[in-house]
Structure 1
Amino acid sequence: MTLIKSISGIRGTIGGKAGENLTPTDAVKFAAAYGQWLREYHDKDDLTVVIGRDARPSGPMIQQLVSATLSGMGIHITDLGLSTTPTVEIAVAQEKADGGIILTASHNPVQWNALKLLNEKGEFLNAAQGERILELVESGEFDFAPVEDLGEIHQNDAYIDIHIDEVLDLEWVNADLIREAGFKIVVDGVNSSGGIAIPALLKALGVEVVKLYCNPDGNFPHNPEPLKEHLTAIMEKVPAEKADLGIVVDPDVDRLAFISENGEMFGEEYTLVACADYILGKNPGNTVSNLSSSRALRDITEKHGGTYHAAAVGEVNVVAKMKEVQAVIGGEGNGGIIYPDSHYGRDALVGTALFLTHLAEKKIKVSELRASYPSYYMSKKKVTLTPELDVDAILVSLKNKYKDEDITTIDGVKIDFPENWVHLRKSNTEPIIRVYTEAQSQQAADELADRFIKELEEIAAKG
């Protein structure tokens, strides 16, 4: 059982002992720390917070605890109930709220849940803000309201529809073109809120929908991370239904993966590549992804005359870089699309609408679209080290060894070679180094990863 506190929120497994798992005690403490921080940050007492959750079974219990805690601090709640991460982000801005909380453990299994914290823009907190909340959790110094000043809780279940309307209103989403294409699409909503939101969006776009695991009861039918090894059912369902494609989202609907008409994975890394290709063709400019994302985005960006920029891993870092370079689109290689014309957050609804417009405009099959992009292959491995080893010193040694190569050190060490790259990052929670590589074949990517694992082990052995 696990409890992880970080600058981006708190997550853990439900049940067990307080302080070791995500128990009611821990949910209350963390919610109270967030409420206390909101008072400091906004320097006012009249505060409103938007709260929404995914469909996992612990969601209603955690939501009641969090809402009651903030109400006890005199903070008003706009309760979206079952919702998506991007929907909550949009609602914070639309409601002119002071913050937001998303109750979701994203792609983690059903026994997990989490509190993800937003600022008044509906964006994730930065590192300094997250650190302050952790300080407040440890101090336990919370001020609660007298009975006459308790916060009110208001239900609002309209925001998924509002979110869909906003997507349809985006300049480069062409609902008429999608409707004319007559797409038939299988949707795997992993029995969470995506099972509501994605079919509703597709219906509004005139798409024929075949639902697979779209009952939002939180009983995940497979591992909810949208990776190939977890998606056997939809990969079989798409060709069996003679569908044009399949759409897969994670439980909180910020990650997006596609299945080609032949039942093959389009590739999570290529979700962003395809959407960027479409937007850059309409509105040329810069793009951003994190250091562990595919080089294909750089290739597509440069093809359209823009400049690609890399950010440290983490959505908040990607968003900061996008704002700095005024990127027209960005995101993460795990299927997360960030489109500033909508909002600064990963959004599978936006990604779906952009992808379908792109496909309808090109009038080609999904497999043909995938074949039009540069082919890269990734390997993701790790090296386990003994706790007493200085991981930072090991990475510095490797950086010095390759000092004549194209090196980035904003998040671990990334070495860009002409034909491939390797990204080495230390874990914040365990003595391991993550080794990500990309090359022009799977064998080459695996061999590059194995080579650097050997080099890391040799440096570690020397002490």
Structure 2
Amino acid sequence: MSLIKSISGIRGTIGGKINDNLTPLDVVKFASAFGTWLQNNKNKKDLTLIIGRDARISGQMVSSLVTATLQGLGINVVDLGLSTTPTVEVMVPELNADGGIILTASHNPKQWNALKLLNEKGEFISGENGAEVLALAESEDFNYAEVDDLGKYETRDDAFDIHIQQILDLPMIDVEAIKAKNFKVVLDAVNSTGGIAIPMLLDKLGCETIKLYCEPTGHFPHNPEPLKEHLGDICELVKKENADLGVVVDPDVDRLALIDEKGEMFGEEYTLVAVADYLLKHKKGAAISNLSSSRALRDVANAHDSEYFASAVGEVNVVTLMKEKNAVIGGEGNGGIIYPELHYGRDSLVGVALFLTHLAKENKTVSELRAGYPSYFMGKKKIELTPEIDVDAILSKMEKEYQNEDVSTVDGVKIDFENNWVHLRKSNTEPIIRIYTEAKSQEEADQLGDDIIAKIKSLI
């Protein structure tokens, strides 16, 4: 079964059986549910939705199904075509639309696709709203429009230009400082829409772009999650071209990974750390990430006399806490930059512009910049339990076991020790506890994970 229904949308593999995979009927049902939910909650007759898609092979088919369904409900559609997640998010309020749907499965392999649902602010709908949409999909209580009331359809081809101009207009983006450096940048866009958008931005910033996998064919040349083990080609090309840095984005361009001039990973966790370092240097305020993100962000915030807060895992939770704390910067350790001066969504384009501004002003190489940040190493393990074991009870015992440490129960159990931390989260689908650790060395992070597993087993 490869159909995942969640509060943020529906995701699955293309083909197969209804309700088991993302079939045409499933696409129509969930598009109908979201459109109907909007109609039920808006006090207006004419509704408009923005849609855009990444370059997945199934994208055009899914887009056609979603468009026709919304029109069938009497909802107008503005189709951006090939786009990015942050571009769709920016365009919803730009066009005063009532919501949006992004057709992307983010970093999942090419057989996956998804409908990600946005409200009128261009932000992911809340958990409560998502539950209401799922309930509507289950009930199939839809009322389609008669022929004279079908929704209108139009396309826009200026969305990237609008998004990029909004970035260039930000006070914290120093276009002239970047241009003066004539940066040489290698870009791996995994043959999706980052291969269109990022070069447009880099050109405006006066950078030379060397393209690797930038044709938006949807045939991903490697696993599209931007992790070290998938990025050997760009690391080699950065060295071969004597480039200043490498930029890697996932298929929908909301995650940003960087490569230094030596062909070494900057570290996904450190994308947010570097951007926060630049911004907090000029404006004190809160920095936000989730509980499973690196402690390095806290260290940088403290160095600038700013506060750091951690949310539950999930972009919606990060955004909620950012608004509550009026944060200067936030995001996730997977390379997701959320800069509220532009919009409340992970955005690799603004991340690139902020990082290049920081790099230009520091007058350092990328490796020198990275060397200035505290070094932490992360470990990820899991412990599989038998179905009859109460996972919540185990987590409660762990909380009590370490009650004299700094413990958070916002999302699972996170224990902050003086020199390292561990975060325990239960799986929603199987009897598993996921164990995330961070320490000053990989060996220490892995050992901490093993020690915690042994402690859990002793409590069962």
1:45 shift after superposition:
2.6
Q: C-alpha distance in 2, partners of 1:35/1:260?
A: 45
Paired amino acid for 2:357: T
Residue 395, structure 1, aligned to residue 395, structure 2: yes
The Cα of 1:109 is off from its aligned counterpart by 0.3
Find the counterpart in structure 2 of residue 317 from structure 1: 317
Q: 2:253 maps to which residue? A: 253
Partners in 1 of 2:191 and 2:269 — Cα distance? 23
Following TM superposition, by how much is the alpha carbon of 1:41 offset from its aligned partner in structure 2, in angstroms?
Answer: 1.8
Local SS of the residue matching 1:435: strand
Where 1:43 maps in the other structure, the secondary structure is coil
Aligned-pair CA distance for 1:339: 0.4
What is the DSSP-based 3-state SS (H/G/I as helix, E as strand, rest coil) of the residue aligned with 2:167? Answer: helix
Q: Deviations over 1:412-445 (max 9, x none)?
A: 0000000000000011122211100000001000
Which residue does the alignment assign to 1:135? 135
8 Å contact from structure 1 (residues 379, 446) kept in 2: yes
Instruction: Give CA-to-partner distance per residue, 1:199-257, whole Å, 9 cap, x none.
Output: 11001100001000000000000000000000000011101100000000000000000
Q: Is the 8 A contact 1:45 1:74 kept in 2?
A: no
- The farther-off stretch of 39-48 and 243-252 is 39-48
| Structure-1-length-normalised TM-score | 0.98
- 2: distance between equivalents of 1:259 and 1:202? 16
SS at 2:199 equivalent: helix
1:288–1:322 CA contact under 8 A, matched in 2? yes
Aligned mates of 2:95, 2:109 — CA distance in 1: 31
Residue in structure 1 matched with residue 61 of structure 2 by the alignment:
61
TM-fit CA distance, 1:122: 0.3
* Pairing 1:41–2:41 present: yes
In structure 2, the partner of 1:435 is: 435
More moved, 34-43 vs 179-188: 34-43
- Which amino acid in structure 2 is aligned with residue 8 of structure 1? S
Using the aligned pairs only, state the percent identity.
Answer: 65
Counterpart CA distance in 2 for 1:233 and 1:41 is 48
How many corresponding residue pairs?
A: 460
Contact 1:189 1:248 in 2 (8 A): yes
The corresponding residue for 2:336 is: 336
Q: What does residue 444 of structure 1 align with?
A: 444
RMSD over aligned Cα atoms? 0.8
For residues 106-185 of structure 1, the aligned pairs below 5 Å read 106-185=106-185
**In the alignment, residue 402 of structure 2 is paired with which amino acid?**
Y
Q: Does 1:194 align with 2:194?
A: yes
Other structure's SS at 2:310 match: strand
Partner of 1:28: 28
The equivalent residue for 2:217 is 217
Task: State the Cα distance separating 1:83 from its structure 2 match.
Answer: 0.2
Residue 79 of structure 1: SS of its match in structure 2?
strand
The one-letter code sitting in structure 1 at the alignment partner of 2:323 is K
AA in 2 matched with 1:372: G
Query: Is residue 55–residue 192 contact of structure 1 (8 Å, CA) maintained in 2?
Result: yes
Using the TM superposition, name which of 175-184 and 448-457 deviates more: 448-457
- Report the Cα distance in structure 2 between the residues aligned to 1:41 and 1:335, rounded to whole angstroms: 34
SS of the residue aligned with 1:121? coil
Task: Measure the CA separation in 2 of the matches of 1:199 and 1:263.
Answer: 20
Residue segments in structure 2 that go unaligned for 5+ positions in a row = none
Under a length normalisation based on structure 2, what TM-score does the superposition of the two structures give?
0.99
Decide which moves more: 245-254 or 395-404.
395-404
Alpha-carbon distance between aligned partners in 2 of 1:382 and 1:14, rounded to the nearest angstrom: 29
Partner of 1:203: 203
- 1:246-395 equivalences in 2 (<5 Å): 246-395=246-395
- Indicate the residue corresponding to 2:240 in structure 1: 240
Maintained 8 Å contact 1:11/1:114: yes
SS of 2:388's equivalent in the other structure is coil
Aligned partner letter, 1:366: V
Which residue identity does 1:87 align to in structure 2? T
Q: Is the 8 A contact 1:53 1:82 kept in 2?
A: yes
Aligned partner of 1:241: which letter?
E
Task: Tell me the SS of whatever aligns to 1:451.
Answer: helix
Secondary structure of the 1:281 match is helix
Deviation at 1:386, TM superposition (A): 2.0
Residue identity in the other structure for 1:232: G
Higher mean C-alpha displacement, 193-202 vs 35-44: 35-44
* 1:388, distance to aligned residue in structure 2 (A): 2.3
Q: Any idea what the Cα deviations from partners look like across 1:250-269, whole Å, max 9, x if unmatched?
A: 00000000000001000000
2: distance between equivalents of 1:327 and 1:304? 14
SS of equivalent residue, structure 2 residue 313 = coil
2:426 maps to which residue? Answer: 426
Task: Using the TM superposition, give the Cα deviation of residue 294 of structure 1 relative to its aligned residue in structure 2, in angstroms.
Answer: 0.3
2:457 matched residue in structure 1 = 457
Letter in 2 for 1:354: L
